[in-house]
């Protein structure tokens, strides 16, 4: 950190968004490359000929490989269509709000699925975002095979990109510190996300989060509406009970956090998250709360003002929102959909999709 230049910080984002940062400079002319995040790191065959039947013992290794490839392509295609419809515009609004509110040199890593690579590139290159420095990374959903329990009561939470936060050390980067962001916007004329980067991480702390009880103005709303994240997604395992987690205690939302990649690797956080994810009903929050229980630093609460997407009727005061550094529409009611609260604060940073595949849903229809 002491080597961080005052005029240069690098960042990266994924979809859902991750923000990664370090002090090592990238050349301004750096070209964009696409890399795959996958432990198997299989390359796509130039010609795919599908077998006429499901693989059996008599089929060749090549045929079995092609069926595995087909299943992966179908999974990727399914989730990419959801991403196009529901996430892309939110990601671009996040990038725009960060890029417009910083005096640092920002570098974006955008992690997405294969079928969204082209659309993401078009969205950036054909809009005012074309001046940003960025790199696209492909996330392979097969990385989650056998590690995510596919019986969530909220199917949207099973989106592969919800689990990117588990695998930050596996991304093709060399950053020492990471800021992870979901669908958020950074606001304020005197607000710069490099200040979030300077969050203090005590020795032995791999990450920093904002707790659900850190803002008195939202504390009562969180309690009364039952919005606290907790470990109820995990069964009553003895090893979980031994942690002494009380569901009524303040917890955190993992949609915004700062992470030390070296400490993350040292503590084998990814392996721990995978272990609990297989038990958690296909959602990312309970494993995060379990693994980081009593083992995280604290983020300034103004850098994660959340729960804006919990209800279309629960509004915060404009005075309170004016003082927030970062706004997060977590939960179901997203600002690119309708109904949703405080749309004006999000729309200020929205950039229309030049291909018109992503459209806002408003009372008057899609625009």
Task: Give pLDDT tens digits for 303-325.
Answer: 999 889 888 988 888 888 988 99
> At residue 284, does pLDDT exceed 80?
yes
How would you label 134-169 residue by residue, b for 16+ Cβ within 10 Å and e otherwise?
bbbbbbbbbbbeeebeeeeeeeebbbbbbbbbbbbb
Q: What is the pLDDT of residues 139-151, one digit of tens each?
A: 998 888 888 766 5
- Residue 15: pLDDT band (50, 70, 90) is very low
**Residue 116 three-state SS:** helix
114/81: higher pLDDT: 114
Q: What is the pLDDT of residues 189-227, one digit of tens each?
A: 678 889 998 899 999 999 999 987 776 655 555 555 444
**Lowest-confidence region among 77-86, 198-207, 271-280:** 77-86
- Residue 118: pLDDT band (50, 70, 90) is very high
CA distance 299 to 257: 8
What local confidence, expressed as pLDDT, does residue 59 receive?
53
> At residue 272, does pLDDT exceed 90?
yes
> At residue 168, does pLDDT exceed 70?
yes
What local confidence, expressed as pLDDT, does residue 163 receive?
92
CA distance 151 to 68: 22
CA distance 193 to 19: 10
Which residues are within 8 A (CB) of 101 and not within 5 positions of it... i.e. 6 or more apart? 186, 187, 188, 189, 191, 192, 193
Are 236 and 242 in contact by the 8 Å Cβ rule? The answer is no
Q: What is the mean pLDDT of residues 341-347?
A: 94
Are 89 and 18 in contact by the 8 Å Cβ rule? The answer is no
Q: Which residues make beta-bridge pairs with 178?
A: 20, 259
Q: What is the mean pLDDT of residues 106-111?
A: 84
Q: What is the pLDDT of residues 234-259, one digit of tens each?
A: 655 666 667 777 766 678 889 999 99
CA distance 243 to 125: 48
Average pLDDT value over all residues in the chain: 75
Are 123 and 133 in contact by the 8 Å Cβ rule? The answer is no
> At residue 166, does pLDDT exceed 50?
yes
Q: Show the domains of the chain with their CATH numbers.
A: 18-38+72-366 (3.90.550.10)
**Which residue in the block uniquely carries the two structure tokens 């969180």?**
222
pTM of the model: 0.76
Q: What is the mean pLDDT of residues 328-347?
A: 92
- Residue 23: pLDDT band (50, 70, 90) is very low
What local confidence, expressed as pLDDT, does residue 228 receive?
52
CA distance 254 to 178: 13
Pairing of strands 297-298, 18-21: unpaired
């Amino acid at each position: 950190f002491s080597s961080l230049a005052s005029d240069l910080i690098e960042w990266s984002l994924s979809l859902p968004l991750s923000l990664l940062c370090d002090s090592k400079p990238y050349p301004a002319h750096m070209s964009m490359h696409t890399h795959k995040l996958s432990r198997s790191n299989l390359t796509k065959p130039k010609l795919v000929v599908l077998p006429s039947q499901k693989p059996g013992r008599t089929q060749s290794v090549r045929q079995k490989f092609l069926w595995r490839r087909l299943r992966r392509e179908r999974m990727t295609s399914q989730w990419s269509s959801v991403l196009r419809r529901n996430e892309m515009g939110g990601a671009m609004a996040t990038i725009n709000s960060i890029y417009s509110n910083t005096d640092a040199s920002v570098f974006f890593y955008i992690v997405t699925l294969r079928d969204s690579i082209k659309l993401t590139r078009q969205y950036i290159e054909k809009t005012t975002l074309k001046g940003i420095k960025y790199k696209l990374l492909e996330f392979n959903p097969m990385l989650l095979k056998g590690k995510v329990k596919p019986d969530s009561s909220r199917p949207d939470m099973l989106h592969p990109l919800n689990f990117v936060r588990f695998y930050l050390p596996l991304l093709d980067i060399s950053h020492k510190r990471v800021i992870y962001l979901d669908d958020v916007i950074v606001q304020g004329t005197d607000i710069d996300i490099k200040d979030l980067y300077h969050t203090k991480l005590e020795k032995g702390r791999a990450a920093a989060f904002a707790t659900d009880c850190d803002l008195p103005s939202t504390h009562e709303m969180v309690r009364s509406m039952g919005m606290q994240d907790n470990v109820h997604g995990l069964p009553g395992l003895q090893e979980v009970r031994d942690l002494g987690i009380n569901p009524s205690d303040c917890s955190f939302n993992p949609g915004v956090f700062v992470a030390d990649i070296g400490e993350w690797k040292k503590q084998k956080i990814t392996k721990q998250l995978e272990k609990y994810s297989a038990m958690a009903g296909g959602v990312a929050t309970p494993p995060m709360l379990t693994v980081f229980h009593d083992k995280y630093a604290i983020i300034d609460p103004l850098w994660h003002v959340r729960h804006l997407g919990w209800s279309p009727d629960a509004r915060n005061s404009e005075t309170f929102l004016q003082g927030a550094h970062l706004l997060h529409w977590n939960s179901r009611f997203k600002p690119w959909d309708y109904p949703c609260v405080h749309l004006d604060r999000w729309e200020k940073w929205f950039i229309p999709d030049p291909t018109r595949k992503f459209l806002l849903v408003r009372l008057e229809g899609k625009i």
